[in-house]
Chains A and B, each alone.
Chain A
Amino acid sequence: MVSDVKILGFCCNWCSYGGADTAGTARMQYPPNARIIRVMCSGRINISMILKAFKEGADGVFVGGCHMGDCHYASGNYKWRRRAKMVGDIIEEFGIEKDRFIFEWISASEGEKFQTTMTNFEKTITGLGPLKRGFKPI
């Protein structure tokens, strides 16, 4: 059964995006309510992009980058990892459960890892339900 939660994935061009591709070409099913945005490196992702995704209606946000040591630009994923540490603490302050955000290292060949990560994440988000926010935008 497909739930109606919306998941946004930021995937690094050199690895996770490839991972998603691998999963696709191998016909490994992953949740259709995940929408992927390709970025050139996980190091390109700012915390504000994650926050904007939640503001615009995402119920869960995923970030995929290269394994440590594999970054196409040497240190991008290290930089992202340092940033990612803060995301949970920030969203929590605005009533968004920490579990609604995950990041994972997935290489281009790990189609299966991509599939399981997304499937599990979709389960978590479906369990949490659509994002409810106390702030009332006018």
Chain B
Amino acid sequence: MDSEFLEIKSKDDEVCKLGECGGSVTSILKYLLESKLVDKVLTIGKYDDIYDGVPVLIENPKDVNKTAGSLHCAPTMIGDLVSKFLNDFKVGVVVKPCDSMALNELEKRKRFDRDNLYIIGLNCGGTLMPHPAQKMFELFYDVNPEDILKEEIDKGQIIIELKDGTEKGVKIDDLEDKGWGRRENCQRCEIMIPRNTDLVCGNWGADDGWTFVEIITEKGKELIQAGIKAGVIESKSPKQEQIEKRAKLEKIMINLMKKFETKHLETEYPSLEEWDKYWNRCIECYGCRDVCPICWCRECEIEKLNKENHSKSPDPLTFQGVKLSHMSYSCINCGQCDDVCPMEIPLSKLFYKLQKKYRKKTGYNAGFGEELPPLYSPEME
């Protein structure tokens, strides 16, 4: 179906207050559980504070409110959680673009049954790493990170709200020019509106207190209609200018992204000497493989080719080289490998660069569509 646009908000006053933009997502999740459309809901919640976003699985609709509100210090990945641990259930998942791309790749590999999932996408301008974010708030906002109640990325700024009610904003450009701001992978991420979901929610183009929804699939449409019918959410049609405003914001973000893509993958891409320095540091911990949503083999070829001697760095040809040949065409630039590498090796630059090359040659865009990469094809073509 063609995308349909709608503005929605929760009809529950408490949820409206707790959540972002009218608490629509919270209400939809609650509705999914209450109406037994799903057994569980997987979303992101605060563990200790706003710097500590972790995936939370909810079964009781009463617990959904706890996860209301946006979190940006949540560079999480839910692909593996869904495919490894939630296979047997009907689940509603809330995803940012990298999550939905991971789910797409895993779905193509038959790691779970798509019919079991309601995938609710969120517009995403990027995430922050918790530790650097706290330092950034100290340095550029001159505040104690513990005094921050909420943070928000909006209109090109990272805005914080303090305990005493005051707000402070600094332009993302200024922060990122100095090496702070969003994660590198988020800076060069091409997807802000994940259209490989059932529906996408966000504030771009929305009226105050409302959520702008792009409905992608029939399943998403039915869900929203059912929610309206049940009196959980209310809706209105957005004006043409709102739709245009949203499209314009997306375009601005895409242009900004291109600048970073060139910087990370070309002008500031590590030299061969730098890569060799990185490879000589590798302790063969398999962190990059374990966290990669694309890597899922039960028997790992990298392990077979290496694992000779733990006191030496593995040869990058048969380690990262083989990993490249197994997954780079499907790399979705989620950056989890960079995040977990104990030796600070910028692996995702390499993986993502190769996916870009593969895309150029074959037209295969990781994270989208229904077909596996051409490599998997049995055809005579």
Direct contact of A and B (CB under 8 A): yes
Please state if B311 and A94 are interface contacts (CB–CB under 8 Å). Answer: no
Q: Does A99 contact B (CB under 8 A)?
A: no
Q: Please choose the segment from A13-21, A74-82, A103-111, A116-124 that sits at the chain B interface, where 4 or more of its residues have CB less than 8 A away.
A: A74-82
Chain A interface, DSSP helix/strand/loop, else mixed: helix
| A134 CA / B381 CA spacing, docked (Å) | 38
Q: Are B358 and A93 in contact (CB under 8 A)?
A: no
State A138–B275 Cα separation when bound (angstroms).
Answer: 17
Measured CB to CB, the closest approach of chain B to A106, in angstroms, equals 19
A82 and B377 contacting across the interface, CB-CB below 8 Å? yes
Q: Evaluate contact between B380 and A47: CB separation under 8 angstroms.
A: no
Whether, in the assembled complex, B322 has its beta carbon less than 8 Å from a beta carbon of chain A, the answer is yes
Rounded to whole Å, the gap between the CB of A65 and the closest CB of chain B is: 13
Report the bound CA distance from A74 to B276 in whole Å.
Answer: 41
**A87's closest neighbor in chain B, by CB?**
B325
Are the CB atoms of A51 and B377 closer together than 8 Å?
Answer: no
With A135-B316, A138-B313 known as contacts, the answer to whether A51 contacts B321 (CB < 8 A) is yes
- Of the residues B358, B377, B380, contact of A86 by C-beta under 8 Å: B358
Interface size class of A (residues with CB under 8 A): 20 to 34
Q: In the complex the two chains form, is A75's CB within 8 Å of B316's CB?
A: no
A135, B354: Cα distance in complex, Å: 20
Q: Given the known inter-chain contacts A48-B301, A48-B318, A134-B273, please indicate yes or no for A89 contacting B357, CB distance below 8 A.
A: yes
Partner of B280, one of A54, A69, A75, A135: A135
Given contacts A46-B325, A48-B322, A48-B325, contact A75 B354 (CB under 8 A): no
A90 touches B324 (CB 8 A): yes
Provided the pairs A82-B374, A82-B375, A137-B312 are in contact, do residues A48 and B354 lie with their beta carbons within 8 angstroms? no
> In the assembled complex, which residues on chain B have CB atoms less than 8 Å from the CB atom of A27?
none
List B contacts of A47 (CB < 8 A).
321-322, 325
CA–CA, A79 and B379, complex, Å: 8
Task: Tell me how many residues of B have a C-beta within 8 Å of chain A.
Answer: 35
Contact in complex: A86, B325 (CB < 8 Å) = yes
Indicate whether B305 reaches chain A with its CB closer than 8 angstroms.
yes
In the complex, A72 has a CB within 8 A of chain B: no
Q: In the complex, what distance in Å separates the CA atom of A46 from the CA atom of B313?
A: 23
By a CB distance below 8 angstroms, the chain B residues around A83 are 325, 375
CB <8 Å contact, A138 and B311: yes
Q: Which residues of B contact A85 (CB under 8 A)?
A: 358, 361-362
Query: Taking the complex as formed, is B344 at the interface, i.e. its CB lies under 8 A from any CB of chain A?
Result: no
Residues in B with CB closer than 8 Å to A78 are 379-381
- List chain A residues, Cβ under 8 A from B321: 47-48, 51, 90-91, 93-94
Name A residues whose Cβ lies closer than 8 Å to a Cβ of B.
46-48, 51-52, 54-55, 69, 71, 74-75, 78-79, 82-83, 85-86, 89-91, 93-96, 134-138
When A and B form their complex, which 9 residue pairs have the shortest distance between CB atoms, in order from nearest? A47-B325, A134-B276, A138-B312, A51-B321, A48-B322, A75-B380, A51-B317, A55-B317, A95-B272
Given A78-B381, A138-B312; 12 other pairs, CB 8 A cutoff: A48-B322, A52-B317, A52-B318, A75-B379, A79-B378, A82-B377, A83-B375, A90-B325, A93-B354, A134-B275, A137-B312, A137-B315
15 contacts between A and B (CB under 8 A): A47-B321, A48-B321, A52-B317, A55-B315, A75-B378, A78-B379, A83-B325, A86-B324, A86-B354, A89-B354, A90-B354, A134-B272, A135-B315, A135-B316, A138-B313
